[in-house]
Structure 1
């Protein structure tokens, strides 16, 4: 049990620390704003420095002038929004059967056409050896693999939803939304075979959206990215050609360019963008994206009114201004309808979420099925049984 009386004595220290960080962040922001001014005046020179640099960090590369501020057009009266989100029940050796469940929630919302929305979820139980143990050959725990499969299924079902909808002959503007980054950090360090097994179906799903003319976008609320800050760090390097390995032994902590940390991109963009505006497009240069081939990730920051949101999308969306504007206008309208967060993503989450009681019922259903099948000797562990009976 948490002792709140003991906890209370630690909170004044937390307040003092946060006050100090607020003052320090204001100073960092002033430095960042000055660097942004320099980068605007010398953007081509800074881009050359990025290309010739040997950096120990990953700066984003601007694809448009840094002065870009685009007012996002209003959404057309008739349009459709598609979204998926996922949740799961992790496997446990203490249950009667070692298996896991992935539940993908999806929504299809129509505006201005009078068509009824679709809101539902697709649960799937995984119990075959290839689902549970194939990942072990690469040193990946089943619990981790479950999360990767969930990400994959979110993309696959989103593409299937878009396909089913387009086959009805409807050609109205649409956008397909997912929550979180399209840069899958969990792929870093995975063997090539495991990485391909996860990424190939995801990219095929993205290509389906491309063929259907439905821009795919991901929404990141309260983003913590430093990629734009990393670009501005170039202005703090005292060397003509930045080379972290040669000049700083590969360690940038404490180096002259480290003064902006931990200032986030969104903090700077808050001072730059008015509500309803997007900033310039940026291309991520994170190493993991080397495995994305043609499906590179582009992003921009949008002032949605209540916050600065990071919006990510495949490069083919960025290359088609009509699709880009269409996607951003529908996304911004979703934020307005959702009082600060896209309503389609919120509803997809509500369809997907697995609550504590759902987990207990899921394993109870399995035990009932075992009893009916004559496998009643398969029981939860003594530890699990005791936890269920606990009065604490």
Structure 2
């Protein structure tokens, strides 16, 4: 039980800290705005320096592929269109439950607008119980709970591609996922483990490319700083941006880290009006070297309630007509969802495993185990005791 009396004593110090941090953030924002204006006329030179010294730069930074000073109005989407989304949830493995297994549940949503077609609102559950599903990841030093999350990411994308190809109509279509298309976690995985997660995702994207259905990652409250890190090139006090020579330890205070922890979204909130997008950027994340010809591009969009980060593969970004149409459909989804894409929100609602669902899942599992002749089926004494209280 939370002691609110003790907690209240700590609130004053927290509020004072937040006040000081807000003032410092305003100063960093003003400084970032100045460096952004300076970068307008130097953009080509900065990009050339970035490309030339890429192997010597120790921080992740993106490359603008359009002028930095543009703010582009997103076109109105067609009334007749289709939006597809998937999202996932899970029941994690627990040694105290009646059986050590885990479940992935992928929510599926297809919304047809102006076509007199029924929507798709359902989920695909899959239970994993074989030793190769539960223990294979441990050979790479990956906990089963982590591996379950990686498997869920791949499943969300493969189900999305299958659904998009089956539900495709003549109307413009957009496939959406919640979160980034840059799977940063893959950088830390051994090659053999990564090869079990990334190839199915890339193959799913290829299927959507062949079907001409753009896929988009929608990031709400993004904490990314790839664009801000590009501006660090303007703040570099050395002759060339050779971090490995001049600033080998990025954890220390270095001349160009004057904006941290300012986010990309904070800067672009001062430039964009509702319904506008920012410059298109190409991400240079190291993991994208494994993405073959499907590098990731992104931009920031003022959706009315926030600045959202929108990510698309190269084949979408390089097709101006497809990109503009996809952004229009995305913005319509946000408006229909009162600040968040309705298709993604509904996919989450379809995927989420509630307490009652979890109880029924284990009840069904218990029933099957008893039918199979297993004895002493039940939760551990610890788990049973935690579910009740004598207080």
Once structures 1 and 2 are overlaid, which stretch shifts more, 56-65 or 369-378?
369-378
The match for 1:63 is 65
Q: Which residue of 1 aligns with 2:82?
A: 80
1:267 partner SS: helix
1:4 aligns with 2:20: no
Task: Pick which of 89-98 and 361-370 moved more.
Answer: 361-370
Deviates more, 1:358-367 or 1:304-313: 358-367
**Deviation digits for residues 248-283 of structure 1 (CA, Å, limit 9, x no counterpart):** 223253111111001110011001111101111101
Q: C-alpha distance in 1, partners of 2:178/2:336?
A: 17
Separation of aligned partners in 2, 1:104 and 1:9? 44
Greater shift in the superposed pair: 126-135 or 378-387 = 378-387
**1:236 CA displacement:** 1.0
Q: 1:37 to 1:252 in 2, by over 3 A?
A: farther
Q: What do you get for the CA RMSD once the two structures are aligned?
A: 1.2
Give the CA deviation at 1:38. Answer: 1.0
State how far apart, in whole Å, the 2-side matches of 1:366 and 1:388 are. Answer: 19
| Secondary structure of 2:241's aligned partner | coil
Take 1:358 and 1:387, find their aligned partners in 2: how far apart are those partners?
19
CA contact (8 A) 1:102 1:123 kept: yes
The SS at the match of 1:176 is strand
Correspondences of 1:151-162 after superposition (within 5 Å) = 151-162=153-164
* Secondary structure of 2:112 counterpart: strand
Partner SS, residue 378 of structure 2: coil
Range 171-180 or range 51-60, more displaced: 51-60
Given that 1:78 and 1:113 are in contact with CA atoms closer than 8 Å, whether structure 2 keeps it comes out as yes
For the pair 1:106 / 2:108, whether they are aligned, the reply is: yes
- Give CA deviations for 1:20-50 in whole Å, capped at 9, x if unaligned: 1111111111111111111111101101121
Aligned to 2:15: 15
- Counterparts in 2 of 1:240 and 1:252: CA distance versus 1, 3 Å: farther
Q: Deviations over 1:226-251 (max 9, x none)?
A: 11110001111111211122112232
Which residue of the partner structure matches residue 377 of structure 1?
Answer: 376
Q: Which stretch shows the higher mean deviation, 49-58 or 176-185?
A: 49-58
Which of residues 160, 165, 168 in structure 2 aligns to 1:163? 165
Q: How does 1:1-392 map to 2 (within 5 A)?
A: 1-53=1-53, 54-166=56-168, 170-251=169-250, 253-392=252-391
Query: Displacement of 1:390 after TM fit?
Result: 3.6
Residue 97 of structure 1, CA deviation: 1.1
Distance across 2 between alignment mates of 1:60 and 1:103: 34
Report if aligned partners of 1:120, 1:351 keep a CA contact under 8 Å in 2. Answer: yes
Structure 1: gaps (5+ residues): none
- Using the size of structure 1 for normalisation, the TM-score is 0.97
Q: Mean Cα displacement is larger for which, 207-216 or 246-255? A: 246-255
Superposition TM-score, scaled by structure 2 size: 0.97
Q: Aligned partners of 1:388 and 1:66: how far apart in 2? A: 56
Structure 2: runs of 5 or more not aligned: none
Query: Which whole-Å CA distance do the structure 1 matches of 2:372 and 2:387 have between them?
Result: 24
Tell me by how many angstroms 1:189 deviates: 1.6
| SS of the residue 1:295 aligns to | coil
Partner Cα distance (1:384, 1:367) in 2 = 15
Quote the Cα distance in structure 1 between the aligned partners of 2:161 and 2:337.
23
Q: Secondary structure at the match of 2:208?
A: helix
Q: Secondary structure at the match of 2:145?
A: helix
CA contact under 8 A between 1:252 and 1:258: conserved in structure 2?
no
Shift of 1:52: 2.4
Runs of 4+ in 1 over 6 A off after TM superposition: none
